[in-house]
């Protein structure tokens, strides 16, 4: 089959999956026999509740499908995505009806239609990603060193304080690549709203099938990424654009990564830029952000996420770190304080000096209505 036919087939499976999940919810409510306060709901009303509050987007379905495939068992799958066994049983029924896969006696998913499911980007461990990058670049990864050191044998750009360009650690870069691969539903366009950490390059090394688009205001950075992509035949496009709204680039994407200035306005601006590229199939966001100048404004950011139909699905607190870099005068002041305290310069240079968290957010591609169902605290609907 052609790629278009493959995606059409995946959409057909998606519709079948939704039908199965709707039927499971109806059956559950009927078995409760009104004990949970749902005796006044007919089947159509229950199906509407499913569509309003539980229906996954096409991309979330694909992500869950591949997570089930790469999990040690259907039970580990349920744990990984933080759902219940009923959801896992729905996938078992789905596999049986579609003949996409089957389960062995230990609950491990055995893929039967390998050609079709090979379209789903493979989940990889950090160790596997690290090994691939080391082999392709001919370097040894040092967890606490700057990510730009990985490319020191290639002419790269100079970090610029005016763009708030502060390189993350190599371990952080590997973690971000892993999170992208875990969530990527298809090897379609993945957007980088800024990429002074060269994550697009590392992602392409890990999986050459992925199509990446990098937008940035720094022409020197874009030229560096473009040269590296040409040297290694990577599927990366670059376009000069400003997240604040100048030279706006718009095209359908499956997800985006951004590591904005750690300010309230910085996070809002970068995230809003990426969200505008989502469409009816959904999408996901990998957002790396620290609390340099956000503070309790994060309450307002949570409201912003809700308004943009973004649901926080995962927070890896402290998963991102930055090696010491004298980019601003304040960095020199901090360094002098540590030296005065008796800490060696070598320790200062190799220790993390800024921590941040990595958020995974799902984009809900439809309006979620206000819940008007009269229910008790034990109504699981």
β-partners of residue 359 are 287, 315
Per-residue pLDDT, averaged over 302-316, amounts to 96
CB-count exposure of residue 370 (10 Å: 0-12, 13-18, 19+): exposed
Q: Strand, helix or coil at 365?
A: coil
φ/ψ of residue 27, rounded to 5: -60, -40
Q: Strand, helix or coil at 129?
A: helix
**pLDDT interval class at 157 (50, 70, 90):** low
- CATH fold, domain 126-363, is Rossmann fold (3.40.50)
Q: ∠377-64-59 over CA atoms, to 5°?
A: 105
Rounded Cα gap, residues 178 and 122, in angstroms: 10
Place of tokens 């509740």: 49
DSSP H or E segment with residue 89: helix 85-98
What share of residues in the chain are helix, strand, coil (percent, to 5)? 45, 15, 35
Rounded Cα gap, residues 324 and 78, in angstroms: 40
Q: ∠282-286-291 over CA atoms, to 5°?
A: 135
Q: 324 pLDDT exceeds 90? A: no
Rounded Cα gap, residues 68 and 91, in angstroms: 8
Residues 311 and 364: beta-carbon distance below 8 Å? yes
Rounded Cα gap, residues 95 and 189, in angstroms: 28
Query: In the chain, what percentage of residues exceed pLDDT 70?
Result: 95
Torsion of CA 8, 12, 14, 19, to 10 degrees: 160
pLDDT score of 161: 58
Which stretch, 36-40, 113-117, 288-292, 308-312, has highest mean pLDDT? 308-312
User: What is residue 147's DSSP assignment?
Assistant: G
Domain extents in the chain: 3-117, 126-363
**pLDDT interval class at 162 (50, 70, 90):** low
Least confident of 57-71, 94-108, 340-354: 340-354
**pLDDT interval class at 64 (50, 70, 90):** very high
């Amino acid at each position: 089959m052609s790629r278009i036919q493959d995606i059409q087939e995946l959409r057909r499976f998606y519709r079948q999956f939704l039908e199965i999940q709707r039927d499971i919810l109806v059956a559950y409510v009927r078995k409760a026999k009104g004990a949970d306060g749902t005796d006044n709901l007919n089947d159509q009303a229950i199906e509407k509740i499913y569509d309003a509050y539980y229906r996954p987007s096409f991309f979330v379905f694909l992500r869950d499908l591949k997570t089930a495939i790469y999990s040690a068992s259907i039970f580990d799958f349920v744990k990984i995505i933080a759902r219940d066994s009923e959801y896992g049983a729905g996938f078992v029924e789905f596999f049986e009806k579609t003949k996409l896969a089957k389960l062995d006696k230990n609950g491990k998913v055995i893929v039967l239609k390998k050609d079709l499911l090979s379209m789903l980007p493979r989940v990889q461990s950090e160790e596997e990603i690290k090994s691939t990058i080391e082999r392709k670049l001919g370097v040894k990864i040092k967890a606490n060193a700057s990510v730009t050191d990985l490319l020191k044998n290639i002419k790269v750009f100079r970090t610029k304080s005016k763009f708030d360009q502060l390189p993350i650690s190599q371990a952080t870069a590997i973690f971000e690549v892993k999170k992208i691969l875990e969530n990527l539903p298809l090897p379609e366009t993945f957007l980088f709203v800024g990429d002074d950490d060269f994550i697009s390059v590392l992602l392409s090394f890990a999986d050459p099938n992925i199509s990446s688009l990098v937008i940035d205001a720094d022409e020197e950075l874009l030229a560096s990424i473009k040269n590296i992509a040409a040297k290694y035949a990577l599927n990366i496009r670059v376009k000069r654009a400003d997240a604040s709204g100048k030279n706006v680039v718009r095209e359908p994407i499956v997800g985006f990564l951004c590591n904005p200035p750690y300010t309230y306005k910085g996070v809002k601006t970068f995230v809003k830029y990426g969200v505008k590229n989502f469409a009816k199939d959904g999408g996901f966001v990998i957002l790396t952000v620290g609390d340099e100048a956000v503070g309790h404004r994060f309450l307002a950011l949570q409201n912003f996420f809700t308004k943009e139909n973004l649901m926080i699905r995962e927070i890896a607190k402290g998963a991102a770190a930055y090696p010491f870099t004298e980019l601003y005068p304040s960095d020199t002041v901090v360094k002098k304080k540590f030296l005065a305290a008796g800490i060696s310069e070598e320790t200062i240079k190799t220790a993390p000096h800024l921590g941040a968290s990595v958020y995974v957010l799902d984009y809900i591609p439809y309006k979620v209505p206000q819940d008007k169902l009269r229910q008790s605290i034990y109504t699981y609907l």
